[in-house]
């Protein structure tokens, strides 16, 4: 039948790609620097996760287990998804927190996986086909869903924490380097739920389960390989901020109330703004606090309390206002020149941010003002 042919071909394509991706993640070299050790470990975990899923596909492709025993196929799929959820989420969280992957956490999740596999196998293969089996299967499906959503929530929480850290520390949009993790997580949730539902579909629709996986793993592969270009920069920034937060926490404690030095910070900051210090490219809040001879924690708290935005958004606002002045007062300047003079690292990012705020590109906005 046509759907069987599509199913076989899609399995063949998916299995080939996944085998290649998994082996590549496990064997491909990375720069020989200590900072890449965590990235390499994360990539190895992803490689194992993909090969686990590839093994699942192999059983379907070579033995046609779906058409031999639907219950056995469903049991195998549920067990594979449960293990994959843990491996994928742990690998991504490890990119943002090098201390996340521990033996204790690994043992705990493996124990849950074994228990889930045994129980789902008993319900599907031992229980008779009656309401008890349906209820048991519903419980296992709910367990899988809740488990996957919990892991996804943890990853998104870590992601947003990292983005807030970058926005409170750097004037440039460092969070853009890890944005793919957020996209992949939401995609993984949708894909995971869809696969769980597709597992129970009639045979003639099961090829959709396989076809949907192909773009999913291609995106993951491309994202991981591209991230290698930025990983060292992101990891160094994370490590720097971890150390800075620890030191300043020991020195000044948590800022619970407005300190008396806020008035002095306001005075110094006003003079710094008048001198257009914000146009310095790659500016960090550490550099600004050093320039103002003040505590970084107090300065960060002052910016949030006064302007109700992060450090990055505050600096970006100052730069955009300065860029608008240049656009009006100096029509001879190019957009690229104004972008550089305003402190933006690239013209494309300047144009994107400007259009988001004003609704027009810088060039078109300049014409409207004229």
CA distance 100 to 35: 16
According to the model, what pLDDT value does residue 258 have?
53
C-alpha count within 13 angstroms, C-beta hemisphere, residue 242: 11
According to the model, what pLDDT value does residue 257 have?
46
Please answer whether residues 159 and 234 qualify as being in contact, where contact means their C-beta atoms are separated by less than 8 angstroms.
no
Q: Phi and psi of 170, rounded to 5°?
A: -115, 145
According to the model, what pLDDT value does residue 205 have?
67
DSSP-assigned states of every residue in 105-143: HHHHHHHHHHHHHHHHHHHHHTS-SSHHHHHHHHHHHHH
Encode the chain (370 residues) as per-residue pLDDT tens digits: 576 777 788 888 889 999 999 999 999 998 888 889 999 999 999 999 999 999 988 988 888 777 778 788 888 888 998 999 999 999 999 999 888 989 999 999 999 999 999 999 999 888 888 888 889 988 998 999 899 999 999 999 999 999 998 999 999 888 889 999 999 998 888 877 766 666 666 666 667 777 878 888 899 999 999 999 989 888 888 887 666 655 555 555 544 445 667 788 888 999 999 999 999 988 999 899 999 988 888 888 899 988 999 999 999 999 999 999 999 999 899 999 999 999 998 899 999 999 999 898 999 999 888 6
Match 């705020």 to its residue by tokens.
357
Q: What is the CATH number of domain 2-244?
A: 1.20.1070
According to the model, what pLDDT value does residue 337 have?
94
Q: Phi and psi of 206, rounded to 5°?
A: -70, -20
CA distance 329 to 366: 10
Domain covering 255-369 assigned CATH 1.10.10.60 in the classification: yes
Report domain extents, the chain. Answer: 2-244, 255-369
CA separation, residue 81 to residues 92, 116, 194, 342, 346 (Å):
16, 11, 12, 49, 42
C-alpha count within 13 angstroms, C-beta hemisphere, residue 5: 2
């Amino acid at each position: 039948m046509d759907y069987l042919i599509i199913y076989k071909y899609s399995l063949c394509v998916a299995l080939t790609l996944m085998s290649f991706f998994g082996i590549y993640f496990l064997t491909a070299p990375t720069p020989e620097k200590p900072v890449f050790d965590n990235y390499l470990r994360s990539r190895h975990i992803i490689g194992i996760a993909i090969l686990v899923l590839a093994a699942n596909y192999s059983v379907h492709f070579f033995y046609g287990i779906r058409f031999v025993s639907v219950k056995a196929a469903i049991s195998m799929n549920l067990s594979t998804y449960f293990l994959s959820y843990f491996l994928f989420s742990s690998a991504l969280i490890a990119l943002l927190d090098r201390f996340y992957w521990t033996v204790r956490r690994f043992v705990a999740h493996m124990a849950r996986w074994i228990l889930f596999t045994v129980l789902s196998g008993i319900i599907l293969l031992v229980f008779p086909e009656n309401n008890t089996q349906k209820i048991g299967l519903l419980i296992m499906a709910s367990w899988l869903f809740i488990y996957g959503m919990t892991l996804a929530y943890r990853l998104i929480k870590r992601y947003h924490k990292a983005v807030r850290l970058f926005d409170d520390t750097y004037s440039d949009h460092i969070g853009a380097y890890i944005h793919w993790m957020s996209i992949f997580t939401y995609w993984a949730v949708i894909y995971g739920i869809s696969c769980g539902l597709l597992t129970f579909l009639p045979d003639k629709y099961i090829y959709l389960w396989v076809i949907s996986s192909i773009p999913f793993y291609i995106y993951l592969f491309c994202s991981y390989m591209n991230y290698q270009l930025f990983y060292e920069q992101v990891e160094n920034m994370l490590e720097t901020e971890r150390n800075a937060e620890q030191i300043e926490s020991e020195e000044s404690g948590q800022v619970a109330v407005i300190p008396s030095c806020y008035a002095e910070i306001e005075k110094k900051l006003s003079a710094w703004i008048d001198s257009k210090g914000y146009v310095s490219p790659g500016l960090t809040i550490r550099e600004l606090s050093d320039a103002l001879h003040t505590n970084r924690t107090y300065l960060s708290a002052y910016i949030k309390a006064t302007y109700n935005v992060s450090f990055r958004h505050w600096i970006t606002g100052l730069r955009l206002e300065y860029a608008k002045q240049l656009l009006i007062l100096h029509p001879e300047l190019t957009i690229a020149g104004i972008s550089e003079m305003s402190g933006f690292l690239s013209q494309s990012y300047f144009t994107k941010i400007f259009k988001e705020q004003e609704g027009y590109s810088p060039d078109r906005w300049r014409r409207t003002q004229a």
